[in-house]
Structure 1
Amino acid sequence: MSYRVTSYEALQTNLSAAGTTLMLCRANIGRIGLSEEQKADTLWRIERQMAELEGMRLEMTRPATHKRSAPTTRKPHLRSMD
């Protein structure tokens, strides 16, 4: 099984799964007894994931930087002038 996202459908499936996971994590977050260290670790993880999402958003909203170059044309050979 490949974990690379190679199509729009795969991207949407992964984003949907991530959204579902986030909703499940958030559902009872207030009822979970977390130590200060656990809270700090969880906040660090959340911030990292938010940065990844922001990176994806920026990548999708900025203009493409890799444009296809024009096809290469061959110059005709020079003719001798005898």
Structure 2
Amino acid sequence: MLFDPNDPPEPATAARAGARLKRTSATIRKWSERYDARQLGRVGRQVIYDYRDLATIDGCMHRGEPVPPTPEERDRLRAKRRATALAA
């Protein structure tokens, strides 16, 4: 799993990511199933997710865009949106 050094993964539990995105932790776990959200590992029984990947999923849904099916495609979407924002 290669990461862009300008966009490193940001570890978060389902509860923490849910609180930041104003979603339930159950919603975060469902997104993990549905969209194959990037998981960084486990701490005890808690799964650690990449918050940036979850935020990208949330952003696509908020804008009414299709959610890219893989974490790598969402990485590319984030990089493209960042480049567009910097060019403006």
TM-score where L is the length of structure 2: 0.26
Larger Rg: 1
More helix by percentage: 1
More strand by percentage: 2
TM-score where L is the length of structure 1: 0.28
